Structure 1
């Protein structure tokens, strides 16, 4: 088994040196061919300068600079497409995901014959609102997108590199790696991992951005909002019939002789709201089709440092097992 570790980087100039040092130490101990790919997502600080220095100094490290900030998932896709080895591991750049836990992911892939494994933290290290927003996003993916493993999804994942062939045509600004991976396999598992608190700065994923991400997934990868608009129209129609029946019944009984302004105004407002909601959903879909037609790229690479050809390779003897540090479980035998 050979491993490519892909890390999207944004405002992480202080954490990258420590992260890369720990990563290379863990991967050396595993005695597997490996590389570390740092994808700098248009970070405004010195992240690119640090990543470039690490690519020159830290052995099997490659640095990729995107022309602007495209978002975490777009940066991940850029790194995944650059990966040269059999298994891709993705992780955050803030030291919350522990490099020492990578052998657990690799062991699960190899030992359980899985294609995709998520590292699920024992305890969430985020606040209440952030955790609630994250659970909302996962619920949307599970119900609307039909991804059964959605509730175990995390940014700390490992998967077989050939899965990227299932989304090689993926383009546009609204990219979601987990949805794309769900297109390629159903052999998905998870393992519990430890997760540290963020050591520097704060997360760029606010509850608002997480909910926006959920909306992007629903509108970009599912027809559920269109169905919801149809259901809304049906329910409003039933409600309109009920209101009409009530008005006719009261008129027949002589309870009213003049059509009530309140009833009419309420019905007009109700139907107008349903129509505007449906038009808004249709407009979102049409806007995305228009955006795709313009050919807007998912990302643009403007500079690379290092190459897969210069990656230092450490190959284990034939038939050898993965050899992690003491206390870390590993799998056996390549699939």
Structure 2
């Protein structure tokens, strides 16, 4: 019996509004020089343009060993990457963006570094970032929050350009929460994590899909899904407010004992009401965020649903292990 070839790595690429760059992306992938069998997994995350049609047409004449997984709608980048992990057959999973800012050639360097040093996770640390100012500021704030909550070294830039071992990738892919932050899941699964300086190219076409709303949603997932720090902070704020109120009462009682009580004006009263009312609303909001996420998770809000899974290109290489989930994630 012939032993099927081992797949060295799976390149996972979420696709969203990528119609204008599909041709260049696949051409770059076809030019990769790697001796062992490897595969590429495209995850169409409900792209509203012609990305899927153009991708399937281009792969029809491509030598790539490719798998195209199609979501029923847009669920988000992290959900798309987890879908890719579930279908990946390589010994390492490497995910890159579809805009070619992560050079496919640099993926081979991540793979070699992870393999040589026996690491579970290697992040691409951009030497010079080519994102715009807004994206850099938003990503920097999200990374700062993640490092504080996940207890990661300051030297790690948690980029979406990462190489993950099959062992950890499959463990992470077992997560079915609708609120996904892959770097949080990885940090909880292993401490064999490092980074490697890589090139970051200017965006070939279009604009980043990360607007202010998406960045805030990502920040909230980091804040509430992997730590109880916001609840502990709310407790400290409540204790501080209670202590401040107690000191105020003590101050008034002492002044009353010496007959020095004065009738204060309404501005001070209104200010106090607004201050403490604002704190109460903040604490209720924090608790509500946690309760809401628990409710939606128990209710069964989906992480992602899959419309179709299709093999394209060179089908001989990746069929040694069948995907574990082919219809739903």
The answer to whether TM tops 0.5 is yes
Out of 39, 43, 48, which is 2:43 matched to?
39
Q: Secondary structure at the match of 2:256?
A: helix
Which segment is superposed worse, 258-267 or 216-225?
258-267
Which segment is superposed worse, 230-239 or 55-64?
55-64
Instruction: Confirm or deny: 8 A CA contact 1:163 1:185 kept in the other structure.
Output: yes
**Displacement of 1:224:** 1.3
**Displacement of 1:259:** 5.7
Match status 1:196 vs 2:181: no
The equivalences for 1:15-54 within 5 A come to 15-26=21-32, 29-54=33-58
TM-score, scaled relative to structure 1: 0.86
**Displacement of 1:275:** 1.8
CA distance in 1, matches of 2:161, 2:193: 14
RMSD: 2.1
Unaligned runs of at least 5 residues, structure 2: 1-6, 319-329
Closer/same/farther in 2, CA of residues 4 and 91 from structure 1, 3 Å limit = same
Instruction: Confirm or deny: 8 A CA contact 1:55 1:62 kept in the other structure.
Output: no
Instruction: Confirm or deny: 8 A CA contact 2:12 2:41 kept in the other structure.
Output: yes
Q: Which residue is 1:325 aligned to? A: none
The equivalences for 1:1-335 within 5 A come to 2-26=8-32, 29-59=33-63, 60-148=65-153, 151-258=156-263, 261-306=266-311, 310-312=315-317
Closer/same/farther in 2, CA of residues 155 and 176 from structure 1, 3 Å limit = same
Which segment is superposed worse, 152-161 or 259-268?
259-268
Q: Give the length in aligned residue pairs.
A: 311
Closer/same/farther in 2, CA of residues 2 and 149 from structure 1, 3 Å limit = farther
Instruction: Confirm or deny: 8 A CA contact 2:62 2:313 kept in the other structure.
Output: no
**Displacement of 1:21:** 2.1
**Displacement of 1:311:** 4.3
Instruction: Confirm or deny: 8 A CA contact 1:52 1:305 kept in the other structure.
Output: no
TM-score, scaled relative to structure 2: 0.88
Q: Secondary structure at the match of 2:89?
A: coil
Q: Secondary structure at the match of 1:144?
A: helix
Closer/same/farther in 2, CA of residues 311 and 220 from structure 1, 3 Å limit = farther
For residues 31-62 of structure 1, what are the alpha-carbon distances to aligned partners after superposition, in whole Å with 9 as ceiling and x for unaligned?
A: 11100101001001110112222343223011
Unaligned runs of at least 5 residues, structure 1: 314-335
